[in-house]
Amino acid sequence: MSDLLQHLFNGVTTGCILALIALGYTMVYGVLKLINFAHSDVFMVGAFMGYYGAHSLGLGKGAERFDPLRVGLIFLLSMAACGLLGFLNEKIAYRPLRHSNRITSLITAIGVSFFLEFGGQMVFTANYRSFPEIIPKTHLSFLGIEATNYPVIILVTAVALMAALSYIVYFTRFGRAMRAVSYSFETASLMGIPTDRVVSITFVIGSTLAAAGGVLYALNYGEINPLMGVMPGLKSFVAAVLGGIGIVPGAMLGGLLIGLCDEFVVYFGLPSSYQSAITFTILILVLLFRPAGLLGKHEPEKV
Amino acid sequence: MTDERRALRVPPRHSWVLLPLLGALLLALSACGGSAPPAGDGATGGGGASSGAPAATGDVIAVGEFGSMTGTTAAFGTSTDHGVQLAIDEINAAGGVLGKKIKVYLEDDQSKPEEVPAVVSKLIEQNKVVALLGEVASSRSLAAAPLAQRAKIPMISPSSTNPEVTKKGDYIFRMCYLDDFQGAAMARFAFNSLGKKKGAILQDVKNDYSVGLAKFFSDEFTKLGGTIVGNERYEEGNTDFRAQLTKIKSTQPEFIFVPGYYSEAAKIAKQARDLGITVPFIGGDGWESAKLFEIGGKSVDGSFYGNHYFAGDPSPEVANFVQKFKERYGEQPDSMAALGYDAAKLLADSIKRAGTTDGDALRKTLAETSGWQGVTGTMSFDENRNPVKPIVILEIKDGQLALKESMKP
Amino acid sequence: MTLAWLLALGGAFGVALVVLFTLWHDRAAQPGKRLATAGAGWAALLGSLVLFDLSVPYLVNSYIWQIIIKVGIYITLAVSLNIINGIAGQFSMGHAGFMAVGAYTAAYLTMTLGARAEGWVRWLPWNGPWAAFAGSSALASLPHGISTGIIFLIALLAGGLAAALAGYLVGIPSLRLRGDYLAIVTLGFGEIIRNLIANVDVIGASRGLPAVPHYSNLFWVYSMAALVIFVSYRLLASAPGRAMLAVREDEVAAAAMGIDTTRTKIQAFAIGTFFAGIAGALLGHHFEYLHPDYFKFDKSFEVIIMVVLGGMGSVSGAAVAAVVLAIAPEALRYAKDLLGNLTEPAVLFATAPFILFALLFLALFAADIARLIGRGAARFASAVHVRTGGGPVHADIARLRSRPMTRWTGLIPAAFSGRPALRDAGLGGVLGLFAAILHRGLIGAGGISPRIEYWTLTLVGMAAGLLIGSRARGRTAPAAGASGAAGGDGSKAGLGYRRLAAVGMLAPLGFLIASVLELQAPAFLERMSVVFRNLPDPRMVLYSMMLIALMLTRPTGLFGSAEIRTWWREKRGRTGVAR
């Protein structure tokens, strides 16, 4: 029983990080109907910015005590940097193609993703770097689960960010504009909503969340490298689709489910090399049988 | 129909003259890629081989080195390269071999087996190397061996431990012990020296090395009377092992055998300690890297792994090598560096003994090597071109390595 | 050796025959004649491929040969994906998975059957006499080649069929989806297939499968490439092909016209994946080592780039792009070797003009970006100003906001507009430069001093360019469109030439700077060389940059056009019969 709980706990932790990334995918798809492949690499850049931030703020060898100011600064720096990256990405690569067909945008998105990944390899070198423990690690033990304080921090931070996002999306004017744009781009612009700005800010917010996810992921695994975004990116994309792409709570739900799924593949005795296959099978099943996702509403294609 | 014609924008006619010329140029450039822009003077040498001149009759002996300078096992490749460069520089400073200096052509295979054929054939054909040094990872050595064998170029792998590698042909040699010996030795160590009777294995199914080592270990361990209570898998490049570790934890092993590479091993150790697993880890020579400590930190303390040499060995050979390496590179040489050093030195020595760089003669001389003294021990090649060498088992104490035991084959 | 040359000559002759037969076939109207010429053409092609296969390995070194094989395999890959992506318009991103299926199936067959295939060669009655006749010459391997070839053919077909089956199974559920969802699902399937293969122990699982027999040779690789190109063109001229084009253009309209869209799409999928499987099998038998990592999404991406670069829908475009992308890594390696030796005067002189051009272009690009940022900042500032209740926008800000952007990077080609003489001189200079590079490459060290050679050849080239250019312009002047159009407007066809001309014009300046650096700052050159030597492989970065640039400027690719286009129809009018 206790290892079931342990598996659950592990799954929820990774699921939260996946949810943070999935939110970016889902929001961008909502407003632009574009799958932003480059999002996973923004996540990677966030982790690297956190790494460099930690080193420049003196936490390069890990922290002795918990220093909220510096840790907060690290998060803010990386989030700001990635927000800028997301903004530039949209402005340079996606906006000119707003009115071309979807495949062109898809190809461009893939191109940007590979550019960031392999460009990252050239700039950051392909080596794995260890991420410093910017928050001192302590061991916790409860309900038969062995863990450190890291999963708790991750949970708390992720939930806080998701709550903040939900507040923005559902309770502010800007959020209403975002939802309007995702419902119908043309009508929203007719209603006087500055669609370009809404789209840009959506990208910024999504990238910010991905950056936070990146730093949390780096903390969790202690290591970063330029290709670290590939698998988490694919998994969180599946999560976004599973929950209903374009729907914010859907991304959160999907993230948790996929995180748990990975854990349970091993729990039920399958070798862990099947994890990817199962994740993708879920993706395909969802797209075939319920393309709108778990929380989505099915809309017939209009001609 | 004519719209399509318009879509083809045709350049002005007088520029058409250039098109066939440029085309011919491109063809010619690619065809004479063999003769790259001139290697002006022999000593500094050009990037490509000087056209037509076989490297040995120039004033250099060309030796090819290929390894993973970038990618998932970049540390192995760069470490080996450091060892090779140190050896070659020492040899050249002492006057070279057969009156000529050795020039090393280094190619990066990016830790990918599919890059190996291109880089190896380039070294053989473009740079006209007389021998190849590489690779560290068995899967990449396996990809390279058929090419070296066909081209009759001797290939010395510094640290590929999978038995299949030297079976590819009589031009393929290696500098290190084999996985069947290593696996069995580690099993004997765990059972006899550490007194553990129950263990779990966490193997990397992406690498022949790891799978082979796991198999040999578990075979020997069960033969001695121990039990393997858990056997989980992961793939090189994975970052999350908590699921597998949780499962292993529930079987309560007395140790966990992790026959993978340092990057994953370190993360496994860290995550295991996070999950409250306190039993020691045992590993193979894939653990050998300074990065193990960098990534793993305190979690690898109390673990053991098998290795090719021990840097703290007080013998003059080793101490000398360690000191020179530290002076040049500012860090302690790991066993990849040591094996690379030995491989290069053995190659040079064989060229000297053979008196020629001809492939067949070199191969024969290499195969006859007996009692050759290197940093990683005294070795002779057996009939399968594998060296007979001892394994050293190291213990990690407080972030430092200590020699625990040494086992002979 | 001479035998090899003779055989190669024979092969070349065979290719000429193929061309002849193709032209003859075009003109033939009766079905009998068309069939005969087509058959003869194929026979000639296969015959010449056999001759090439026997001779080329003796004529080129293994490095070049390895590139030639890779080119052939890539052509098969690109054209096969073009059938799915380009002709039928279904964006599949899982091509690598089908390659894997074909590769492993074929490898399994050759490894289990192959041993027997090698064996029964000795039983063939003609083996003895042939061996005596051919000795150890180029012809000796023919019987062996034939017998292993039969096994290989079976394995290839099996691999292709297995891949086609996989394609069929993947297609049935997936092809109900549109556009990017289809792309994602095929990506998912590609990964699933790869993951499943990586779990099957008997074929090596994640460790890879070594000891795949080395059966890929020129004959198989290029005959398959020819086959897939042939199939593509036949498809375009056939009814199912037209259905695919219709589905590509507008699926709903096609369905309304009575085309069974699902069946059409599945057909395209099956054909495309069949050849993907064959290409994978050829790849496996070339590397002699199969590993699931060969077939990751990176590989699918490479094939997609080829198709997109060539133009989706264009068979010739896909083939050309495949050749480019197969040679590119080697060209990059070559360039890296070059740049890693900047201390060599010859290398320095050869690369200086290009480096100078690159630096100039980058500097101008930076100027463009700076202006963009400046304008953006000015816009932002004025917006804030207005938002915070400021009065009329400050004059300076307003001016910055409205100043039109001069694309500085456009200065390079614009410098040549209206100055055709300069452009011709520049192009001639570039040719001279290339000639000098070529010559030095052939003669190696020695000969006249590199400096003199580069200077003279470049200047001679410039002069020649001027002369030839002015002559040509004199002749075509009345067709004022010709030179004016190429020089004056922003026509993309002229842009490349003008950039090349810029390199040529900068060459003398480059030589001067190179000489100065060489004499005064050799340490700097050495450091630069080391930087280049340690540069990691820029392949993927360049590919992705090119892809993005392509999508932003010319999404139809090199040869593609967005409209329905069939090769046959262009030549014949609508009925498909020769005029």
Complex ipTM value? 0.86
pLDDT in tens, B75-122: 788 889 999 999 999 999 988 888 888 989 888 888 888 788 888 988
- Domain B3-177+318-390, CATH: 3.40.50.2300
pLDDT at C483 over 70: no
pLDDT at C35 over 60: yes
- Return d(Cα A170, Cα B358) in angstroms, integer: 77
User: Residues near B72 by Cβ (< 8 Å), separated by ≥ 6?
Assistant: A128, B111, B236, B237, B261, B263
- Domain B179-307, CATH: 3.40.50.2300
Q: Which residues of C are less than 8 Å from B16 in CB distance?
A: none
pLDDT at B28 over 50: no
pLDDT score recorded for residue C125: 66
**CATH of residue A162:** 1.10.3470
Amino acid in position C244: M
pLDDT score recorded for residue B332: 84
Query: Would you state the structure tokens that stand for residue A71, as one six-digit string?
Result: 């840790």
pLDDT in tens, C184-241: 889 889 988 988 888 787 777 666 777 777 788 888 999 999 999 999 988 888 899 9
Q: Confirm or reject contact between C63 and chain B (CB < 8 A).
A: yes
- Answer yes or no: is A295 within a domain: no
> In DSSP terms, which residues pair with B281 in a beta bridge?
B256
User: Residues near A139 by Cβ (< 8 Å), separated by ≥ 6?
Assistant: A146, A147, A148, B274, B276
CATH 3.40.50.2300 residue ranges for chain B: 3-177+318-390, 179-307
Q: Which of B205, B242, B263 sits opposite A128 (nearest CB)?
A: B263
Under the banding of pLDDT at 50, 70 and 90, the label for residue B168 is confident
User: Residues near B296 by Cβ (< 8 Å), separated by ≥ 6?
Assistant: B265, B266, B267, B269, B270
Q: Which of C177, C540, C547 sits opposite A107 (nearest CB)?
A: C547
- Return d(Cα C511, Cα A71) in angstroms, integer: 53
Optimal mutation site among A142, A146, A275, interface B, most CBs of chain B within 10 A:
A146
pLDDT score recorded for residue B99: 86
pLDDT at C335 over 60: yes
| CA C180 remoteness from chain centre | 25
Q: What residue in B sits closest to C449 (Cα-Cα)?
A: B40
- Return d(Cα C467, Cα C314) in angstroms, integer: 38
Contact at CB, C445 and B39, closer than 8 angstroms = yes
Contact at CB, B18 and C537, closer than 8 angstroms = no
DSSP symbol at C117:
H
**B184 within 8 A of B403, measured Cβ to Cβ:** no
- Answer yes or no: is A300 within a domain: no
User: Residues near B47 by Cβ (< 8 Å), separated by ≥ 6?
Assistant: B36, B37, B39, C336, C337, C338, C340, C341, C347
Under the banding of pLDDT at 50, 70 and 90, the label for residue B133 is very high
- Return d(Cα C142, Cα C135) in angstroms, integer: 11
The whole domain housing A22 covers 2-289
pLDDT at C119 over 60: yes
Radius of gyration of chain A (CA): 19
Under the banding of pLDDT at 50, 70 and 90, the label for residue B247 is confident
- Answer yes or no: is A252 within a domain: yes
Under the banding of pLDDT at 50, 70 and 90, the label for residue C62 is confident
Q: What are the b/e assignments for C234-257, b being 16+ CB within 10 Å?
A: ebbeeebbbbbbbbbeebeebeee
**B366 within 8 A of B154, measured Cβ to Cβ:** yes
pLDDT score recorded for residue C494: 62
Query: Would you state the structure tokens that stand for residue B341, as one six-digit string?
Result: 């050093």
3-state secondary structure (DSSP) of residue A245:
coil
Number of domains in chain A: 1
Minimal CA separation from B244 to chain A, in Å: 6
Under the banding of pLDDT at 50, 70 and 90, the label for residue A109 is very high
Q: Which residues of B are less than 8 Å from C294 in CB distance?
A: 113-114
- Return d(Cα A209, Cα C380) in angstroms, integer: 25
pLDDT at B380 over 90: no
pLDDT score recorded for residue C266: 93
Contacts with C, B 9-48, CB within 8 Å:
9-15, 17-18, 21-22, 25, 28-41, 44, 46-48
